Amino acid sequence: MSLPRIVALTGAGVSAGSGVPTFRDAGGLWRQYRFQELATPQAFRRDPKLVWEFYDWRRQRMAHCRPNPAHETLAEMERVLPDFLLVTQNIDGLHAAAGSEQVVYLHGDIWTLRCTRCTYKERNRQAPLEPLPPSCPRCGALMRPDVVWFGESLDPHAIARAWEAFEQADIALVVGTSAVVYPAAQLPWLTHEKGGQVIEFNTQPTPLSDIATTILGPCEETLPHWWAEFQLKLEER
Ligand code: BJW
Ligand code: ZN
């Protein structure tokens, strides 16, 4: 019998155990701002320095964070399961640091800067950053973090690849996401509608819990446990 096709969607909760703050849990404020006020193209146009400082602050916090057992388990799934695909909303780079190679990044990467006008991009691990966004070396326009803000389109290739994988999956693992931001939150519904199983790992229920088996608890504990049990079942077949 062939192995089941498994896909995973991760959110900020997968990195919570590594010390990266989530968005919507308690303490989600930076200075007096909610992240929804800063993670928009309008905010960057109005006050590029403020938004730049917000991302610099987050980069400085993330720079010292290391992958946890949830990231490591997802990296191992890729090595063991031939059709596994990891789709993440996270921008922190911890999946790559744990060794995941096949990753669809829906919301970009905080360690890449890109030009607001032309196609210039650069990897940048500097933390702290300069106090002001630099100018593009190619065209002179302002540089910005290569992340997807509210109201901006996701990379069409990334969303198409994720869409197909969730439609074809036998099992969708949904790890540490509040499942309220679209189009990412739509993905597990595709698996469900096609008759696949949705398994959610979260410390609390989400809007997906209606269609999912919800495993409550910190995913850095529950996901490695589920994976160990799952592998035993595979061996018994
Ligand atoms: C643990 C844990 C532990 C804690 N273990 N669990 C359809 C309907 C309604 C609105 C829309 C729609 N389609 C589009 C929209 C508009 C908008 C949207 O979805 N708005 C909703 C919020 C209402 N979407 C967009 O604008 C997207 N663009 C788009 O669709 O373009 C076309 C379009 C535009 C406008 C209108 C219509 C169409 C772009 C979305 C980009 C999101 N960007 C951000 C910021 C990225 C850069 C940055 O980091 O600064 O992405 S917002 C933020 O939310 C970030 C995250 O990736 C994303 C998801 O959050 P996540 O990861 O789920 O984190 P939390 O904090 O919410 O949840 C953490 C969870 O972990 C919780 O459940 C905890 O319980 C749990 N947890 N510790 C396990 N140890
Ligand atoms: Zn440029």
How far, in Å, from the CA of 58 to the mean position of ligand 2? 24
In this prediction, residue 29 has a pLDDT band, given cuts at 50, 70 and 90, of: confident
Tell me the mean pLDDT in the region 229-233. 96
> Which residue is closest in CA terms to ligand 1's atom 78?
13
133-162 mean pLDDT: 98
User: Domains of the chain by range and CATH?
Assistant: 6-20+68-107+154-236 (3.40.50.1220), 25-64+113-147 (3.30.1600.10)
Per-residue pLDDT tens digits for 87-131: 999 999 999 999 999 999 999 999 999 999 999 999 999 999 999
Q: What is the mean pLDDT of residues 188-197?
A: 98
Distance (angstroms) between ligand 2 centre and the Cα of 142 equals 7
pLDDT bin (cut points 50, 70, 90) of residue 2 is: confident
CA–CA separation, 161 and 177 (whole Å): 19
Which atom of ligand 1 is nearest to 36's Cα?
Answer: 52
Q: Is the pLDDT of residue 27 over 80?
A: no
Contacts of 160 (CB under 8 A, 6+ apart): none
134 lines ligand 1 (CB under 6 A): no
107 is catalytic: yes
**pTM exceeding 0.85:** yes
Q: What pLDDT shows up at residue 75? A: 98
Determine the pLDDT at residue 25. 83
**Which one is catalytic: 71, 107, 192, 225?**
107
Pick the residue whose CA is nearest to atom 10 on ligand 1. 182
From the CA of 35, which ligand is nearest? 1
Query: How far away, in angstroms, is 207 Cα from ligand 2 center?
Result: 40
Distances (CA, A) of 145 to 47, 130, 180, 201: 14, 13, 23, 29
Structure tokens at 186: 């739509």
The confidence band for 1, taking pLDDT boundaries of 50, 70 and 90, is low
Band of residue 237 on the pLDDT scale cut at 50, 70, 90? confident
Better pLDDT: 40 or 27 = 40
| Alpha-carbon separation of residue 33 from 56, 60, 130, 145 (angstroms) | 15, 18, 21, 18
**Dist CA 84 CA 76 (whole Å):** 10
